[in-house]
Amino acid sequence: MKKITITAPDDWHLHFRDHDMLGETVPATARCFNRAIAMPNLVPPIINAQMALDYKARILAAKPENSDFEPLMVLYLTNQTTIQDIKDAKAAGIVAAKLYPAGATTNSDAAVAGIEALYPVFEEMAKQNLLLLIHGEVTESHIDIFDREKIFIDKHLTKIVDAFPQLKVVFEHITTSEAADFVMQSSELVAATITPQHLLLNRNDLLVGGVRPHNYCLPVLKRNTHQQALRKAVASGSNKFFLGTDSAPHEQHRKESACGCAGCYSAWSALELYAQVFDELGALDKLEGFSSIYGADFYGLPRNSQTVTLIKQEWQIPEQIILPNGNPIVPFFAGQTVNWKIESL
């Protein structure tokens, strides 16, 4: 197959960041995604409805002219989140709330410690039909970083799903065979997003031949066996798995430093890279469901009416992108050749 036309896709998990960065990240996403879930882990985090609406206004101010792009807003859960916060969020059109275990990823220091304390909030979310988006890792320092997703399933996620059978749960950016199995075996109210990096790479791509900071993300890349399990999951065509890039920009000097900030900035190439994966798997017929149908259906939102056409044509991802502040950022798969290209929107 040399050409494929699909319903316009959405990105159900990404990080725009804020302020000057929006001048780069919003157009990059709006070039092919009609909607995107805007993650709320800013500084300070988006902890109430008014902050979410203010952030949405900043995102919309950065979108290209004549673009119909729509950001979908999310509340950042803390141990101070109240039932009234959830009611206010629903009234304001916010679609979900995000659970970050404290210390799990970038800007998560203000997040939840003691997940059971939020059970009354989860109960209200189920009543309001507000989705729970979960970064599913434990953060205790003695637990191996490669085991943190699996242990989170056993310690927390199973209990949440059992306690709130009417709550829609998205297990975000899953990385392991255990996570894929958990989602497949759960009810129709449990789904997962999968990133391009976790389909394309494994931990050898992070560590062999020297540490490669631009492949460092959280949850961290896992063994090849887990990568293959995720590829099998998307190739199955199951409606429980859908597109969420976790595109997460950091300036080059912050990635190539002692900090080694976590995140892969994939917005400029994500759809094309997903197409490449599905082509490798002989499953291009499953790309539309994963990219454009299953996420919208799970969120209870209308499917997009526009289309996107991709052609099998090689192009090279740039080595660098210059941000509005003049600093460079290294995109995911920088300098590498991609076999699929957007022809028209």
Q: Tell me the three state secondary structure of residue 131.
A: strand
Alpha-carbon gap, residue 96 to 294, rounded angstroms:
16
285 catalytic residue (yes or no): no
Pick from 282, 283, 243, 248: nearest CA to 264: 248
* Dihedrals phi, psi of 111, to nearest 5 degrees: -80, -165
Alpha-carbon gap, residue 26 to 319, rounded angstroms:
20
Annotated binding residues for Zn(2+), written as ranges, equal 13, 15, 98, 135, 173, 246
Listing DSSP states for 269-324 in one string gives THHHHHHHHHHHTT-GGGHHIIIIIHHHHHHT-PPPS-EEEEEEEEEE--S-EE-T
- What are the tokens at 246? 């976790």
What are the percentages of helix, strand and coil residues in the chain, rounded to 5?
40, 20, 45
**Which residue out of 10, 11, 85, 246 is catalytically annotated?**
246
Annotated binding residues, written as ranges, equal 13, 15-17, 41, 98, 135, 173, 218, 246, 250, 262
* Residues belonging to the active site: 246
